[in-house]
Structure 1
Amino acid sequence: MIIKKYTLDDLARMIDHTNLHAYASDEDMIKLCDEAKEYHFKMVAINQVQSKTCYEQLKDTDIDIGAAISFPLGQTTIESKLFDTKNAIDNGANEIDYVINITELKNKNYDYIEKEMSEMVELCHSNSVLIKVIFENTYLTDEEIAEVAKIAKKVRPDFIKTSTGFGPSGAKVEDVKLMKSIVEDDVLVKAAGGIRNSDDFLAMISAGADRIGTSSGVKIINALKQHMKDDDVDSIKIGR
């Protein structure tokens, strides 16, 4: 295990500040972006249709615009995912989180999963856009999680991601550890879904996650700030 020190800003820059509600308004998006600027989060995680709105709010900052594609079910064709991805990029998104076709994974059609991932990665990387592959582990066995992770290690998206946050359960420490054990340092891991407090946040980082998707980022960073103040420290040590 390696012990690393993280400043409050280091930890904030691991957060994808999230609002993926179907009823989110433009006012909600502006609030999300304002919070991202105030706390210096890495990205705002939004539905594809809100890419342009958030781009206008964040274009003069170092905060990324992350569009969710085929969200939350993943049950669209490769062609549809590519079209929606290009549309999101054209409207200002510079990170993409897409959901795999879980049906094809259940069919053990691993060639399809690899083709889908390869084409999505090629489109994003050719446009200098970062890409995350959402497994939605709540529906998968450990064997299926491992199979998709092996494909990712070969194809090399930027991240593999545990969950959408819209399934029956979200991120689990055990899943993060399993995913990381397979991709090692070739692909990063994002934990998302149900991470609502600082203890869960730190546990996911310790398990191997380099990015955390959460709608509780403000609460988490404020709690960590208070913890550091109480302990009179300027960083938090996390073993990985």
Structure 2
Amino acid sequence: MARTEEEWNIAINEKVLKVLHDTDSAPPSTSITQPSNPLFPLTIDHALLKPDAAPAKIDVLCDEAIRYGFRSCCVNGVHVKQVADRLQGSSVIPCAVIGFPLGASTTAVKVFEARDAISNGAREIDMVISIGALKSQSYSTVFDDIHAVASQACKSFSESTQAIPLKVILETVFLSDSEKIAGAFIAAEAGASFVKTCTGFSGGGATKEDVELLYRTMRYKNGEVKVKASAGIRSFEKCKEMLSAGAERIGTSSGAAIMQNVRAVSGTY
């Protein structure tokens, strides 16, 4: 919904007050208590986003995702076609990041990047929010940025009647609680399918408290907009904590280690 800046300020102030006072709304308990639960792999976006990711490592990522039955393989745009080809015939979804990891591209570039990724086979898009605009309370700018990607790229995909799911990365490590609520609310209003915690490239990572806050913020959407926890998730126990806090998707580069119920090495995200 397009709003004036004044209307955004009023709506966000109301949302912040409501969410911060709504501390009794706990997410439903998760049935996933072991990595062997067949539902667990379907929560995992298996990621390789490092700048030194070579094609051979991308193939390994895809093969691991197929072996364990993960929800998606999440990669930078340059690798999308390779991933789509490698995953062909499997149930694993090719996913691309855009505006990554800073969120500082222009809207036109983000739209082009999303369209390009989709044309190369991406079937989910994870975009980084305009962090500076959010922190400066330029709410219309944040809305327009997300809405353009949602409407001009994800919803205009012509081979299906369904839009490509758009996950909006808030980069919560830079935000106050009020800013997290504002960013998530704007993303939902702009057409996001998920609100997501972090890129994993700015220090810190997903926390139980942030996931719970985003879950409460999205309650008004009645399940239409979900929460993805990402960054610093390297063990099954951490995954379970995020799922118990309200996340429905987990972004991690440690999927294979987690499925083996071992803690991943330092340096993964």
TM-score (normalizing by structure 2)? 0.80
Q: Find the residue that maps to 2:40 and give its secondary structure.
A: helix
From 206, 210, 215, the equivalent of 1:175 is: 210
Question: By how many angstroms is 1:8 displaced?
Answer: 2.1
Amino acid at match of 1:5: S
- Mapped contact 2:73–2:95 kept (Cα < 8 A): yes
Alignment of 1:108-123 (within 5 A): 108-122=137-151, 123=153
- For residues 177 and 28 of structure 1, the distance between their equivalents in structure 2, rounded to whole angstroms, comes to 34
Alignment of 1:82-121 (within 5 A): 82-121=111-150
Question: By how many angstroms is 1:130 displaced?
Answer: 1.2
Amino acid at match of 1:212: I
- For residues 146 and 209 of structure 1, the distance between their equivalents in structure 2, rounded to whole angstroms, comes to 15
Q: Which residue in 2 is equivalent to 1:5?
A: 31
- For residues 99 and 185 of structure 2, the distance between their equivalents in structure 1, rounded to whole angstroms, comes to 22
From 202, 213, 217, the equivalent of 2:255 is: 217
Residue 155 of structure 2 is aligned to residue 125 of structure 1: yes
- C-alpha offsets along residues 7-57 of structure 1, whole Å, 9 cap, x if unaligned? 622100100001101010110010000000000000001011100010110
CA RMSD in angstroms comes to: 1.3
Question: By how many angstroms is 1:186 displaced?
Answer: 3.2
Question: Aligned in 2, Cα 1:3/1:136: closer, same or farther, shift over 3 Å?
Answer: closer
Amino acid at match of 1:18: A
Amino acid at match of 1:202: K
Gaps of 5+ in 1: 225-240
- Mapped contact 2:73–2:92 kept (Cα < 8 A): yes
Residue 89 of structure 2 is aligned to residue 60 of structure 1: yes
Question: By how many angstroms is 1:154 displaced?
Answer: 2.1
Question: By how many angstroms is 1:4 displaced?
Answer: 4.2
From 210, 217, 225, the equivalent of 1:187 is: 225
Q: Find the residue that maps to 1:223 and give its secondary structure.
A: coil
Gaps of 5+ in 2: 1-25, 158-162, 263-269
Which aligned segments of 4 or more residues in structure 1 are displaced greater than 4 angstroms?
A: none
- For residues 52 and 199 of structure 1, the distance between their equivalents in structure 2, rounded to whole angstroms, comes to 33
Residue 168 of structure 2 is aligned to residue 138 of structure 1: no
> Structure 1 stretch 122-131 or stretch 34-43: which is displaced more?
122-131
Amino acid at match of 1:47: N
The number of aligned residues is 224
Residue 101 of structure 2 is aligned to residue 72 of structure 1: yes
- For residues 129 and 244 of structure 2, the distance between their equivalents in structure 1, rounded to whole angstroms, comes to 26
Identity %: 37
- Mapped contact 1:114–1:155 kept (Cα < 8 A): yes
- Mapped contact 2:188–2:195 kept (Cα < 8 A): no
Residue 182 of structure 2 is aligned to residue 152 of structure 1: no
- For residues 113 and 169 of structure 2, the distance between their equivalents in structure 1, rounded to whole angstroms, comes to 16
Q: Which residue in 2 is equivalent to 1:200?
A: 238
Q: Find the residue that maps to 1:13 and give its secondary structure.
A: helix
Q: Find the residue that maps to 2:104 and give its secondary structure.
A: coil
Amino acid at match of 1:190: K
Q: Find the residue that maps to 2:38 and give its secondary structure.
A: helix
- For residues 37 and 210 of structure 2, the distance between their equivalents in structure 1, rounded to whole angstroms, comes to 26
Q: Find the residue that maps to 1:5 and give its secondary structure.
A: coil
Amino acid at match of 2:240: L
Question: By how many angstroms is 1:74 displaced?
Answer: 0.5
- For residues 131 and 141 of structure 1, the distance between their equivalents in structure 2, rounded to whole angstroms, comes to 23
- For residues 110 and 198 of structure 2, the distance between their equivalents in structure 1, rounded to whole angstroms, comes to 18
